[in-house]
Structure 1
Amino acid sequence: MVKVTVWNENRHEQKNQAVREVYPQGIHGAIADFLQQDYQVKTATLDEPAHGLTDAVLDDTDVLIWWGHIAHDEVDDGIVEKVKQRILGGMGLIVLHSGHFSKIFKALMGTTCDLKWREADEKERLWVVDPSHPIAEGVGEYIELDKEEMYGEHFDIPAPDQLVFLSWFAGGEVFRSGCTYQRGKGKIFYFRPGHETYPTYYHEDVQRVIKNAVQWAKPVKRPAPVYGNVKPLEAIKTKN
């Protein structure tokens, strides 16, 4: 079974009663709850030792899900580097909503990952622009969210390997809201919706996308590549 670790800075839940009312077990708890139907799931948060991302935890993680917002700078650079190396080695990463500004996502993208935003009760429609992609399996032409925070272009990221979702907002903006990347042997998926004051992670289609993304991002089981100076391969012998 695929092993998933759901990481959340878990600060809004401590500071904001409105967020606690939406996510009484934390955003990480809500995500873990629907994932555990299909995967082996554990959670980790910022204020745990090593931010909950010890060597033992990372060694036992196939896919890491990341949600952060107001405490990006508090994440230790050494932990970020350790996570980055695990991703380059094959661990999958799913970055949600404001995790676009996390240290780990920026380190992997090599850009500012900045964007426009507007916090308002605004309709979002996430159009499926790659219906053949496995992350979009089981989703109709679009996902509609009655209330979400607006993110708008320009989104300062590298061109995605594949663009799966494109959002439209009632204010007129559009946004690349479902982007895939490969870094080293690891697969990365950025998925936009999930502002902390809205019940987005209870939405059936949002849950389906995250479940699909875990399956897509899981490591490929194969021998590690050989690097460095090597001897020539032996010539293939043909039978007489």
Structure 2
Amino acid sequence: MVRLTLDLIAKKSNLKSRKEETTLQYLKKITHINFSAKNIDAIEDLSLCKNLSVLYLYDNCISQITNLNYATNLTHLYLQNNCISCIENLGSLKKLEKLYLGGNYIAVIEGLEGLEGLRELHVESQRLPLGEKLLFDPRTLHSLAKFLSILNISNNNIDDVRDLEILENLNQLIAVDNQLLHVKDLECLLNKLTKLWKMDLNRNPVCLKPKYRDRLILVSKSLGISL
């Protein structure tokens, strides 16, 4: 396995071709780091990368989110398809706009309090134990209520989305391949989410209900529902 370190980042940058720039200068100004699919299993101290705004670490073996508290300018974080079971240590990322955590082992969406810049949250296809479903910490939902606009919760065995009623700014909800069954629950959700214009419910049991789509569109005139 490989640890993401400053030395590793510097080596990848091929600084030999930049004779006029020192390693320290390069690390201080770098804005994008891409170490996807590199067998990374841990993130070490990258505090010199003060201007980092986009970090690609998907398709690795990371089990814990660490050493990102320095990255106060980070806006996009890609951690899909790792081994993460807990959302943690992100509280200082006040500028974070997009967070990608699909394909991990996360059972509860939590630890996102204070991230008032977060606009997109992608937590699809968590590798959960058989019979379990993805849950939401009320504190995190309350914290995201006024800001989150896109939420992807596909393929997580979810059978109830009424907890999401608090997300008043949500305009896109992707909930494909879940266990949503009751039209009435979705009607209640739409009564609360007045800004929602896209809801993807493909391959949910509710799709087999007669005229379910018509009933939901009647509740929200601006809504487009994918069958």
TM-score scaled to structure 1, two decimals? 0.28
Higher helix share: 1
Q: Which structure has the bigger radius of gyration?
A: 2
Higher RCO (CA-CA < 8 Å; seq separation 6+): 1
Higher strand share: 1
